[in-house]
């Protein structure tokens, strides 16, 4: 009986060894299921065949064989489970591999629009001044001679009208505004100090169009009137504007100038953004760039709107938006703004 | 104005370099626009030389061959100028010299060898004269570098409109003297007067002393009319004028020097030796020195003699009594004219001269005698003239010197710059203001020191305290101003919010993938009419339409007869041929071109033209918008109505893409989707699109957008906001567009009237929602909107949402029918709906659709 027992145990060992070897070679779930049936099948599995021998064994051998069968069964089952997991992992890996995308293909375009550089520049300027308590207002683009000229101390036949060649709708009466300054008058008439407004908008000049002149362009007017404003405040406001618009280290220079509706008047320059003041073509080798005109509101203008110039003081300034944008974005040609070439617009 | 530095130095000592001087003046408000370094390119290859021999080149009608003494030898030079003769001293550019873009070499021409070039003033950079060679003074040494004799730096000034006094070398010198603390050295005209007094030789009558406040005249006899001396010719050239003859040159020289325009008449050609200054008679004519015959108006001032006009006062003379080669006696005019009159005349005649541009900025009447004397002195010294004693001077109301009571504290009050009374005193005195301390007024001004400031007569621009503040600031320096961010009180709201609204729309459309463009507000009627498939009086009306408060009536549908009766200024008869100019628009009376003759009535023509331009070089489609104004004319003399609008244009695929859906050309529903997204972002919930006939669009593919807003009676009504559609194929063709094109124009003011003032939150129901699909078959012609509205109406408040998710035609749907499939969502706010309730509602809807549209349920 011992011999028989030993022989059985040896057969079980051999079975286990053969089963594990076969399992090792299996590469698909179908084969795996075959293997499962062949070795661990409840009905005709090889291990089951051994169990059917147990009743024929002696009382002492039965548990030995039983335990051995269980040990082999556990071993095979765990090996099967491990193999199954391995195969599942591999199949998933292979499935994912088959789904590989070319991530360098362009994405499905969600069209993205662009703001016109003039709108963008106006917005930037407006934000800087609204942070200083200014409000943004707009005005009519077709204006009267009174608001555009007379109320601003530019009577008919004043030589200053030469600086602003005019498109006339009704000669002498109605015109396309040559500047945003008429809104100084409209705002001062419509409200009382304190006033802090900026006025962006279109303006028109009867000029031959070339690389640096446009018949229609944009300006931003600024007006501050209260009982304590001085020209030092004008300089303070514009210095801050220049730093925020053109860079923290920008320097601002005031120099004498003439505008009929300000007194004293000042031209405002910033040090050249390209050469930092050492001189280059952009600044015509002066180291400075002219950015805007400004001054203290002329007493005649204050009297025109019924303000007492001994009580109220104010400053005003006006800048060309195209000029600011050309400096800021290094654009050499003013006609690009009205050209609306998408190759230009897409850059903003 | 061009001022040679060497000339300026005659009146004031200059120790600064030209660049430093330019900076000093620029900072003080006299902007130096450029420095012209005359002679910088001459080097040692441009020298003085003399013509020793001259012969005509055979076979040429203008070339001469000259032998030239270079001081160290003799060379041959071919020259084409007409004004040279043997013995003339001339500038010679030797081979290797570079003048501007020109490099001189040895040339062989018509059998001669030319070893250099004789130079004209223009070739030397001495002004624009190119009519002949620049002839040098006879005393000029030979063979020296021209640069040693003639090089100079010319300051180019832009003289501001209020400072007529600066239009002269002395005027600039006065500022230099004040700014650099140097004395001003004025010339003192001295000459001997002899012969018969001027008052016996000439009579002056000024009929209009308003337009001519002063007329001073001198008589100078025995003058020789020859060429000017070299130094004077050179100064005139560098200042930008052309030497003509000695007498004319002296008048120009004195004008440049002291700023007083002068006119020299041939005394013997002034009929009856009587000068009459009067207004022209309407239609009176004069031929000015430039050879142009000009018709005059009654408000123009003339210089005349008893037989007729001899000059347009302050603008230009005529040939009648012009100085000529035979002239021996000069009647010299030195007058003052009213700026407005001179300007108006010069503008009306299109004739701006050195003289008129000075007068129109305002000149000092006190300057006439100084100018006349200076010219008389030069005529005596240079032309051998005898100056007759005395000046005939008509000056009925001598100008009064203005005085201003000024407190030095005004400087700080206006500028924030602290200054002492002494500084103010010094600054103003340097500029020749007479400053006097006023002690008597001290109490009245609260113990403050007051100054009585007498303004020099040449400073007509100084009228009040603020003007003096600027003068002080110019002298002390704008760079001394402190920079202080304003601290004053902040204003109440003064904004109308349109800036914010326009940017809101801008950001939304950019987010939807549209590019912003900015086109000219000026266009032409023809360019706008190009938008219409068929142009007639009726279709043209759509360009003038605007949303009306009374609903649909203002929005004409051009295909309907109803429109014909709506008067909008256009004669409404489609049979009549339509002329572009009969389209009412804001007309520019002096346009730059016919393409820019009026203000736009629509943004759409600019959009279409931009599409056209860009489509030439763009394979991808175009998605554009513009925010701007339409300018609708109102009554004569009234400002137009400016309506804020947005225009949108789509043409072609959204992108060049490997994704087929994106490469699909845009269609009507792409445009409508953009508009709906805009409405959604603006929280406008109540709106509708209705089919419309519109002459820009495909008759079956255009709609008017209406939004619901409160009417004047408080009730809600739909108001048109604008239209959208597929551009009519004829119009698309006209603009050469490669794809079907979609346009939309919305009136932003009407649109924003429908934007809720505030948003309020509706609680989200926590009760279960039930969904039911509904597929119905209806006639093709039934608008989807009608079906949707019927479903909403019959679903009642328990029907939360209705969404169309399929539109289908084709088998098995019968021809002429379409299938619409919706998903309906039922939900109650306060309880859980039962299936039975939802089914009942659904059945009610189906029954209503059957009733209203003959709809059949699709199984
Ligand atoms: Zn630079």
- Taking only the tens place, the pLDDT of each residue in B233-286 is 889 999 999 889 999 999 999 999 999 999 999 999 999 999 999 999 999 999
Residue B728: the pLDDT is 97
| CB contact A187 to B (< 8 Å) | yes
Name the helix (H) or strand (E) containing B148: helix B146-150
Report the C-alpha gap between B194 and B198 in whole angstroms.
10
The sheet carrying B515-516 orders its strands as B515-516, B622-632, B641-651, B741-747, B716-727, B697-710, B687-691
Q: Name the band, by pLDDT with cuts 50, 70 and 90, for residue B444.
A: low
When mean pLDDT is compared across A26-40, A136-150, A223-237, B328-342, the lowest value belongs to A26-40
Report the C-alpha gap between B213 and B367 in whole angstroms.
12
Residue A262 forms beta bridges with which residues? Answer: A259, A297
Radius of gyration of chain A (CA): 45
A106, A111, A112, A116: CA torsion to nearest 10: 130
Q: What single string gives the DSSP state of each residue in B83-98?
A: S--TT-EEEEEPTT-E
For range B383-401, the mean pLDDT: 95
Does residue B472 register a pLDDT over 50? yes
Residues A309 and A190 in one domain: yes
Indicate whether A71 belongs to any domain: yes
Report how many domains make up chain A.
Answer: 2
Residue in chain B closest to A215 (alpha carbons) equals B592
Indicate whether A108 belongs to any domain: no
Indicate whether A33 belongs to any domain: yes
Residues A133 and A247 in one domain: yes
Residues A89 and A213 in one domain: no
Question: Which of A241, A279, A340 is the best residue to mutate to test the B interface, defined by the most B CB atoms within 10 Å of its own CB?
Answer: A340
Query: Prior bond to B812 cis, omega within 30?
Result: yes
Report the C-alpha gap between A222 and A207 in whole angstroms.
25
Report the C-alpha gap between A211 and B270 in whole angstroms.
50
Give the minimum alpha-carbon distance from A137 to chain B in angstroms, rounded to a whole number.
Answer: 5
Please count the residues of chain A.
348
CB contact under 8 A, B479 and A253: yes
For range B11-31, the mean pLDDT: 95
When mean pLDDT is compared across A180-194, B345-359, B443-457, the lowest value belongs to B443-457
Does residue A288 register a pLDDT over 50? yes
- Tell me which residue in A111, A137, A260 faces B655 most closely, judged by beta carbons: A111
B304 CA to centre of ligand 1 in angstroms: 55
Does residue B818 register a pLDDT over 70? yes
Report the C-alpha gap between B198 and B216 in whole angstroms.
11
Residue B571: the pLDDT is 44
Report the C-alpha gap between A23 and A27 in whole angstroms.
9
CB contact under 8 A, A264 and B416: no
CB contact under 8 A, A195 and B483: no
Q: Are B640 and A142 in contact (CB under 8 A)?
A: yes
Residue B560: the pLDDT is 44
Q: Name the band, by pLDDT with cuts 50, 70 and 90, for residue A57.
A: confident
Q: What is the ipTM of this complex?
A: 0.88
Indicate whether A105 belongs to any domain: no
Report the C-alpha gap between B8 and B171 in whole angstroms.
10
* Domain with A208 in it: 117-345
Indicate whether A107 belongs to any domain: no
First to last CA, chain A: 97
In this structure, what are the phi and psi dihedrals at residue B277, rounded to the nearest 5 degrees?
-100, 115
A289 CA to centre of ligand 1 in angstroms: 8
3-class state of residue B524 by DSSP: coil
Indicate whether A104 belongs to any domain: no
For range A61-82, the mean pLDDT: 89
For residue A102, with 0-12 CB atoms within 10 Å meaning exposed, 13-18 middle and 19 or more buried, which class applies? exposed
Report the C-alpha gap between B613 and A344 in whole angstroms.
13
Residues of chain A in contact with residue B614, where contact means CB-CB under 8 angstroms, are 340-342
Indicate whether A109 belongs to any domain: no
| CB contact A53 to B (< 8 Å) | no
Give the minimum alpha-carbon distance from B488 to chain A in angstroms, rounded to a whole number.
Answer: 7
CATH of the domain at A284: 3.30.930.10
Residues of chain B in contact with residue A208, where contact means CB-CB under 8 angstroms, are 592
| CB contact A174 to B (< 8 Å) | yes
Indicate whether A63 belongs to any domain: yes
Q: What percent of chain B has pLDDT over 90?
A: 73
Residues A294 and A337 in one domain: yes
Residues A157 and A245 in one domain: yes
Question: Which of B494, B500, B521 is the best residue to mutate to test the A interface, defined by the most A CB atoms within 10 Å of its own CB?
Answer: B494
Residues A63 and A187 in one domain: no
Does residue A153 register a pLDDT over 80? yes
Report the C-alpha gap between B767 and B830 in whole angstroms.
7
Radius of gyration of chain B (CA): 41
For residue A64, with 0-12 CB atoms within 10 Å meaning exposed, 13-18 middle and 19 or more buried, which class applies? middle
Other C-beta atoms closer than 10 Å to the C-beta of B700 total: 10
In this structure, what are the phi and psi dihedrals at residue B672, rounded to the nearest 5 degrees?
-65, -35
For range A196-221, the mean pLDDT: 94
Residues A145 and A240 in one domain: yes
B684 CA to centre of ligand 1 in angstroms: 51
Closest CA to B704 of B831, B857, B551: B551
Contacts 24+ apart (CB under 8 A), A269-273: A270/A242, A270/A246, A273/A246, A273/A247, A273/A327, A273/A328
Residues A142 and A257 in one domain: yes
Residue in chain B closest to A288 (alpha carbons) equals B23
Cβ neighbours of residue B310 under 8 Å, at least 6 residues apart? Answer: B265, B270, B302, B303, B304, B317, B318, B320, B321
B435 CA to centre of ligand 1 in angstroms: 42
- All structural domains of chain B, each given as residue ranges with its CATH number in brackets, are 2-38+156-180 (3.30.56.10), 46-150 (2.40.50.140), 198-394 (3.50.40.10), 403-479 (3.30.56.10), 499-753 (3.30.930.10), 770-857 (3.30.70.380)
Residues A222 and A339 in one domain: yes
Q: Name the band, by pLDDT with cuts 50, 70 and 90, for residue B568.
A: very low
- Taking only the tens place, the pLDDT of each residue in B702-727 is 999 999 887 667 677 888 999 999 99
Six-digit token string for B185: 């050295």
| CB contact A136 to B (< 8 Å) | yes
List A residues 286-315 in contact with B (Cβ-Cβ < 8 A): 296, 298-299, 309, 313
Residue B161: the pLDDT is 81
Better-scored residue on pLDDT, B449 or B839: B839
When mean pLDDT is compared across A51-55, A260-264, B456-460, the lowest value belongs to A51-55
Does residue B629 register a pLDDT over 90? yes
| CB contact A176 to B (< 8 Å) | yes
For range B840-858, the mean pLDDT: 93
Q: What's this model's pTM, rounded to 2 decimal places?
A: 0.88
Residue B574: the pLDDT is 54
Give the minimum alpha-carbon distance from B234 to chain A in angstroms, rounded to a whole number.
Answer: 28
Q: What angle separates helix B169-180 from helix B421-430, to the nearest 10 degrees?
A: 150
Residues A128 and A175 in one domain: yes
Q: Name the band, by pLDDT with cuts 50, 70 and 90, for residue B107.
A: confident
Taking one residue from A and the other from B, the number of pairs with CB-CB distance under 8 angstroms is 272
Q: Name the band, by pLDDT with cuts 50, 70 and 90, for residue B173.
A: very high
Residues A216 and A306 in one domain: yes
Q: Name the band, by pLDDT with cuts 50, 70 and 90, for residue A1.
A: low
Residue B711: the pLDDT is 64
Residues A51 and A121 in one domain: no
Q: How far is CA A55 from CA A74, A215, A272, B166, B644, in A?
A: 21, 113, 106, 134, 102
For range B541-552, the mean pLDDT: 74
- Tell me which residue in A110, A118, A196 faces B490 most closely, judged by beta carbons: A196
When mean pLDDT is compared across A47-61, B38-52, B138-152, the lowest value belongs to A47-61
Q: Are A90 and A97 in contact (CB under 8 A)?
A: no
Does residue B182 register a pLDDT over 50? yes
| CB contact A169 to B (< 8 Å) | yes
Residue B570: the pLDDT is 45
């Amino acid at each position: 009986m011992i011999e028989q027992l030993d022989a059985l145990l040896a057969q079980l060992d051999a079975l286990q060894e053969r089963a594990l070897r076969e399992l090792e070679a299996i590469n698909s779930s179908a084969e795996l299921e075959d293997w499962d049936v062949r070795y661990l099948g409840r009905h005709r599995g090889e291990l089951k065949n051994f169990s059917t021998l147990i009743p024929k064994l002696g009382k002492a051998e039965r548990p030995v064989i039983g335990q051995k069968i269980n040990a082999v069964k556990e071993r095979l089952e765990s090996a099967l489970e491990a193999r199954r997991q391995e195969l599942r992992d591999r199949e998933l890996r292979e499935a994912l591999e088959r789904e590989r995308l070319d991530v360098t293909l362009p994405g499905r375009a969600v069209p993205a629009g662009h703001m016109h550089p003039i709108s963008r520049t106006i917005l930037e300027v407006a934000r800087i001044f609204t942070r200083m308590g200014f409000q943004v207002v707009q005005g009519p683009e077709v204006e009267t001679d009174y608001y555009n000229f007379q109320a601003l101390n530019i009577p008919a036949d004043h030589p200053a009208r030469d600086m602003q060649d005019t498109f006339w709708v009704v000669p002498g009466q109605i015109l396309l505004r040559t500047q945003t300054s008429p809104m100084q008058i409209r705002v001062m008439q419509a409200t009382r100090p304190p006033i802090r407004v900026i006025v962006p908008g279109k303006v028109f000049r009867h000029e031959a169009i070339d690389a640096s002149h446009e018949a229609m362009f944009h300006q931003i007017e600024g007006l501050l009137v209260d009982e304590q404003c001085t020209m030092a405040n004008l300089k303070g406001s514009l210095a801050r504007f220049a730093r925020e618009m053109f860079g923290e280290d920008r320097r601002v220079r005031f120099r004498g100038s003439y505008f009929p509706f300000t007194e004293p008047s000042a031209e405002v320059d910033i040090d050249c953004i390209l050469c930092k003041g050492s001189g280059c073509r952009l600044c015509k080798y002066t180291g400075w760039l002219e950015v805007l005109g400004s001054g203290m509101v002329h007493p005649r203008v204050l009297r025109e709107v019924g303000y007492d110039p001994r009580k109220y003081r104010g400053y005003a300034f006006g800048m060309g938006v195209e000029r600011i944008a050309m400096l800021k974005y290094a654009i050499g040609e003013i006609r690009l703004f009205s050209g609306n070439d998408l190759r230009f617009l897409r850059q903003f | 104005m061009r001022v040679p530095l060497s000339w300026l130095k005659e009146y004031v000592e200059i120790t600064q370099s030209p660049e430093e001087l330019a900076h000093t003046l620029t900072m003080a408000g006299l902007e130096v626009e450029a420095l012209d370094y005359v002679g910088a390119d001459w080097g040692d290859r441009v020298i003085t030389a003399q013509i020793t021999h001259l012969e005509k080149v055979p076979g040429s009608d203008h070339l001469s061959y000259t032998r030239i003494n270079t001081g160290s030898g003799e060379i041959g030079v071919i020259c084409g100028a007409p004004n040279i003769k043997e013995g003339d001293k001339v500038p010679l550019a030797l081979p290797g010299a570079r003048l501007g873009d020109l490099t001189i070499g040895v040339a062989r021409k018509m059998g001669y060898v030319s070893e250099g070039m004789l130079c004209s003033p223009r070739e030397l950079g001495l002004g624009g004269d190119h009519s002949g060679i620049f002839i040098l003074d006879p005393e000029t040494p030979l063979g020296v570098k021209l640069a040693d004799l003639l090089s100079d730096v010319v300051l180019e000034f832009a003289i501001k409109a209020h400072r007529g006094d600066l239009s002269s070398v002395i005027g600039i010198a006065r500022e230099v003297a004040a700014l650099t603390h140097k004395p001003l050295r004025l010339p003192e005209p001295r000459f001997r007067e002899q012969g018969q007094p001027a008052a016996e030789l000439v009579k002056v009558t000024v009929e209009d002393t308003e337009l001519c406040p002063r007329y001073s005249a001198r008589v100078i006899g025995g003058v020789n009319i020859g060429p000017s001396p070299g130094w004077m010719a050179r100064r005139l050239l560098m200042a930008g004028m052309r030497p003509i003859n000695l007498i004319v040159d002296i008048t120009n020289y004195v004008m440049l020097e002291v700023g007083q325009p002068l006119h020299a008449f041939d005394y013997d050609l002034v009929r009856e030796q009587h000068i009459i200054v009067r207004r022209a008679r309407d239609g009176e004519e004069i031929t000015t020195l430039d050879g142009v015959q000009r018709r005059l108006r009654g408000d123009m001032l003339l210089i005349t003699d008893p037989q007729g006009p001899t000059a347009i006062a302050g603008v230009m003379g005529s040939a009648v009594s012009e100085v000529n080669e035979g002239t021996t006696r000069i009647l010299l005019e030195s007058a003052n004219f009213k700026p407005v009159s001179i300007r108006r005349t010069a503008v009306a005649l299109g004739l701006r001269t050195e003289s008129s541009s000075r007068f129109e900025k305002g000149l000092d009447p006190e300057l006439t005698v100084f100018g006349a004397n200076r010219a008389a002195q030069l005529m005596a010294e240079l032309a051998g003239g005898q100056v007759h004693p005395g000046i005939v001077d008509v000056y009925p109301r001598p100008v009064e010197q203005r005085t201003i009571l000024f407190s030095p504290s005004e400087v700080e009050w206006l500028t924030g710059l602290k200054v002492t009374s002494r500084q103010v005193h010094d600054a103003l005195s340097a500029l020749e203001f007479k400053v006097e301390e006023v002690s008597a007024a001290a109490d009245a001004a609260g113990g403050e020191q007051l100054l009585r400031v007498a303004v020099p007569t040449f400073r007509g621009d100084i009228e009040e305290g603020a003007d003096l503040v600027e003068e002080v600031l110019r002298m002390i320096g704008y760079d001394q101003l402190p920079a202080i961010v304003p601290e004053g009180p902040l204003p109440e709201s003064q904004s109308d919010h349109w800036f914010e609204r326009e940017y809101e729309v801008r950001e939304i459309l950019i987010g939807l993938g549209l590019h912003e463009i900015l086109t000219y507000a000026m266009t032409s009627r023809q360019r706008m009419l190009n938008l219409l498939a068929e142009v007639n009086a009726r279709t043209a009306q759509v360009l003038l339409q605007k949303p009306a408060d009374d609903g649909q009536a203002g929005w004409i549908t051009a295909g309907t007869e109803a429109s014909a009766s709506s008067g909008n200024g256009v004669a409404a008869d489609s049979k009549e041929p339509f002329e572009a100019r009969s389209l009412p628009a804001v007309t520019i009376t002096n346009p730059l071109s016919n393409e820019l003759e009026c203000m736009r009535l629509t943004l759409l023509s600019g959009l279409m033209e931009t599409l056209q331009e860009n489509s030439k070089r763009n394979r991808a489609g175009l998605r554009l918008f513009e925010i701007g104004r339409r300018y609708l004319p109102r009554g004569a003399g009234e400002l137009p109505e400016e309506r804020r609008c947005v225009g949108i244009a789509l043409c072609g695929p959204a992108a060049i893409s490997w994704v087929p859906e994106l490469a699909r050309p845009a269609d009507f529903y792409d445009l409508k989707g953009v508009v709906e997204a805009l409405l959604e972002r603006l929280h406008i919930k109540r709106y509708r699109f209705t089919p419309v006939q519109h002459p820009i669009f495909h008759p079956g593919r255009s709609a008017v957008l209406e939004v619901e807003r409160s009417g004047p009676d408080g009730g809600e009504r739909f108001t048109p906001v604008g239209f959208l559609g597929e551009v009519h194929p004829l119009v698309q063709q006209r603009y050469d567009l490669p794809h079907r094109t979609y346009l939309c124009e919305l009136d932003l003011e009407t649109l924003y009237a429908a934007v809720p003032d505030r948003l309020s939150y509706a609680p989200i129901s926590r009760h279960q929602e039930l969904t039911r699909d509904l597929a119905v078959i209806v006639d093709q012609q039934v608008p989807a909107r009608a079906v949707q509205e019927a479903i909403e109406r019959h679903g009642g408040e328990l029907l939360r949402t209705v969404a169309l998710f399929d539109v289908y035609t084709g088998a098995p749907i019968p021809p002429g029918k379409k299938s619409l499939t919706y998903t309906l969502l039922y939900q109650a706010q306060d309880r859980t709906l039962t299936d039975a309730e939802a089914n009942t509602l659904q059945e009610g809807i189906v029954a209503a659709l059957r009733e209203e549209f003959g709809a059949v349920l699709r199984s």
